[in-house]
Amino acid sequence: MKLRATYNQIWMLFIVVVATSCSVKKFIPKDENLYTGAEIVTTLEEDAEDVNIGGLNAELNTLLRPEPNSKILGMRLGLYYYYKAQRENPGFINKWLNKKIGEEPVYFSDVNPQRVEELILNRMDNRGFFYGQAVSEIDSTEKFAHVQYKVEVPQPYTVETFELEKDSLPIYDELQDLVADTRIDQGDRFDLQLMKFERERIDKALKQRGYYNFNPDFLIFEADTNRYDNKKFDLYLRLKKNVPSRSVIPYAIDSITVHPNYTIDSDTLSTVTDTVNGIYFVQREEFFKPEKLEPYILIEEGQKYDSQTARLTSNRLSSIGSYKFVNIRFNEKDTVANANGNGLLDADIFLSPRTKRSIRAELKAVSKSNGFAGPGLGLSYNNHNFLKGGETFSLSGNFSYETQISGGSDSGLSSIAGGLKADLIIPRLVPFSPSRFKYAVPKTKISLGGDILKRSKLYTLTSVNASFGYTWKANKYVFHELNPISLNYVNLADTTAEFDSILNKNPFLRQSFEQQFIAGMNYSFTYNELVDEDKSLPFFFSTNLDVAGNTLDLATGDSKTVFGLEYAQYAKLDVDFRQYFRWGREQALIARVYAGWGIPYGNSSTLPFVKQFFSGGPYSVRAFKIRSLGPGIFTSENTESTSFFDQSGNLKLEGNLEYRFPIVSYLKGAVFADAGNIWLTSQPEISDDEPQSSVDFNQELFTKGKFGKNWTKELGIGVGFGLRVDIQSFVIRLDLASPVQVPYLPEGERTRTPFFGGGDNNLVWNFAIGYPF
């Protein structure tokens, strides 16, 4: 107790010394008082009832001007270092601190209490609290000044009736229909902001009904209190006087002209014009086939002008991928109502193509957490209007060489990898007829690719994959991808005696390589609010469903092969939840939960190796090397270069928490915590002729890797911090992490102090491109 008392006294003395040394009082000029802020004291008048005084007070506090100098633990450090930097010889430290956190002083002479009183009264009037009072009182001491605003809040005025003042103009029929859906109800407090919202709502609806020239400022609200003596009023809505006649009539589309190959210096006099369904297509030479472009246009001749239809048409044309700019202009052809009561508009759609062909080359230097490093080369070719119908054709190839740079038994290992992939994206449904999806047109994607991986002392792995499917955006946040045909052929060849021994020892692994043919379908759904930068709490959700072998199982009956190849049969599902908490300047806290489960059945007793889950690495639990966790508490006794073959599973659980913050310019920082692992949920059957060593290994793997009720004790947990260079969404990331819980250690020895706990692999560096999630 005596020691604690001494400690507290030292701590208090330290605070007093720091606070005294950082005092700004001595720097304040003689003829000035430092402004220390203001407060609002709100009281209700006697007749005021049921007023949300807390909400009103919070709103009024936003009107206080100016902001006083900030304080940290009672000290005005920003102001202090500003003053220190103004001295004749401020010193490097004071100048640097002033540049980083310095604040110019806010003096009472900068404050205008009368102006703040006016703002408070005006805001109260706008919220229905008419005839309130606001009085300022100044509390001034030597060198400091504080303001208190005493506000008396009266009973607010409330709506008794709300109706439209009708006139003979046809637009009043539309207004009457729209007012029926108003958010202004009897008993609502007078609220100028709500009335502005109501005007904008009606204006938006009118523009979807043909009123091209309407403006929300043409509407005016009038309040009448003559019928009441208890602070109630009747609210009326009408058009202002002298509204232009061209603004109160609806407009219809008289003609539509599309310029599929528009540039600023286009010669519109010498052009070729095609007509498809009444739409004119003007282009000097055929850049985009008119019959392919017409289905994207929702605007129709004779249709009333609709701002929503125009916006959706622009979205659809932009989503093709062939255009960098889409501009829709409406020109008034006749501003006098015709026999149908409509004015007339001509619609011109100008489409500026992006560069049709592009070639890109990338030279890469790769360093992995498993000790492999080496150069890589990537080449890609893109054609953004391949068949003059907005089709995008891309051809990409990659080659890389990696070698094990660490010493010991793994020295000299190397791998060579190469691949070629072709994609054809067609901006419409194939083979179905064009569908008028409102937000964006679905795209058909056809892919064909092949890869080869040769690892010295182990094996050569070749694969061929093909898919046919569709992608589409349902709205701003929702994205779907469906591949009804997904084929994958994997061939394991040139295996060495070392790798054969791994397979012979591990029947679970051997069976996952035996099924070389995967045929099925997959679907993914993504809900992503991150596209909305104004959201402070955006949410991200993604799920993927992969089902294989069912169609082949029905077609082949009792046969377990197709084209002489054993095919896989399984179902696999994963979900990814992320919640982002944004505040301040580029600060965010992200919470993520991931879960995945694959179930082999029918023709399979294990998932194919390429479909299994792995844990650890720069995009997983960063305190453990890539693919080094699990399953469960199992750990491989092989060398680092081959151990990950044993460490896979069909169930994965993972959670992450990361705080991101800016440091300076493009340099960002982060602190994080990760937890996760993989497990097995079923034990594959092995034949009776398996050697006893394989049976024992298989039993050990399943016993240690089985998912059970104590799974939380089997999580790999780690913490760390990192630096990121973020240049226009291109991110280079370096993270340093350390384990808190190591699942494969004996129970009772699994927890350790991160960074200082000792043991093997206590510090793990992760170098990667892009954010982990």
419: Cβ contacts below 8 Å, ≥ 6 apart: 397, 398, 449, 450, 451, 452
CA distance 477 to 526: 8
CA distance 288 to 639: 58
Taking 3-state DSSP, the helix, strand and coil percentages for the chain, each rounded to the nearest 5, stand at 20, 40, 40
Domain shared by 178 and 234, yes or no: yes
* Residue finishing a domain among 463, 493, 523: 493
94: which strand partners? none
In tens, the pLDDT along 24-43 reads 888 999 889 999 999 999 98
**∠ at Cα 290 (288, 294), nearest 5°?**
115
DSSP 406-433: S-GGGTT-EEEEEEEEEEEEESS-SSSP
Domain shared by 165 and 117, yes or no: no
Domain shared by 435 and 410, yes or no: yes
Domain shared by 278 and 263, yes or no: yes
Domain shared by 378 and 302, yes or no: no
Domain shared by 37 and 147, yes or no: yes
Confidence of residue 458 (pLDDT cuts 50, 70, 90): confident
In tens, the pLDDT along 89-147 reads 888 888 888 888 889 999 999 999 999 999 999 999 999 999 999 999 999 888 899 99
Assigned domain for 409 exists: yes
Residue 88 is predicted with a pLDDT of 83
> Rounded mean pLDDT of 387-408?
84
pLDDT above 90: residue 314: yes
* Residue finishing a domain among 353, 385, 417: 353
Number of domains in the chain: 4
CA distance 330 to 344: 10
CA distance 385 to 292: 12
716-732 b/e (C-beta count within 10 Å ≥ 16 → b): bbbbbebebebeeeebe
User: Terminus-to-terminus CA distance in the chain, angstroms?
Assistant: 48
Domain shared by 110 and 232, yes or no: no
What are the φ and ψ backbone dihedral angles of 112, each rounded to 5 degrees?
Answer: -125, 85
Assigned domain for 198 exists: yes
Give SS3 for 135.
strand
Provide the residue count of the chain.
773
What are the φ and ψ backbone dihedral angles of 199, each rounded to 5 degrees?
Answer: -65, -45
In tens, the pLDDT along 599-648 reads 998 888 888 888 999 999 899 999 998 888 989 998 876 544 455 566 88
pTM: 0.76
Radius of gyration of the chain (CA): 35
317: which strand partners? none
> Rounded mean pLDDT of 577-602?
92
Which of 413-422, 551-560, 679-688 shows the highest mean pLDDT?
413-422
95: Cβ contacts below 8 Å, ≥ 6 apart: 85
Show the domain range for 268.
251-353
CATH number assigned to the domain comprising residue 197: 3.10.20.310
Residue 436 is predicted with a pLDDT of 61
Q: What is the dihedral of CA 618, 620, 624, 630, to 10 degrees?
A: -140
Domain shared by 346 and 445, yes or no: no
Residue 405 is predicted with a pLDDT of 63
Q: How many CA atoms lie within 13 A of 38 on its CB side?
A: 26
In tens, the pLDDT along 640-671 reads 445 556 688 999 999 999 999 988 888 899 99
Assigned domain for 722 exists: no
Q: What is the dihedral of CA 732, 738, 744, 748, to 10 degrees?
A: -160
Assigned domain for 653 exists: no
Q: What single-letter amino acid sits at 749?
A: E
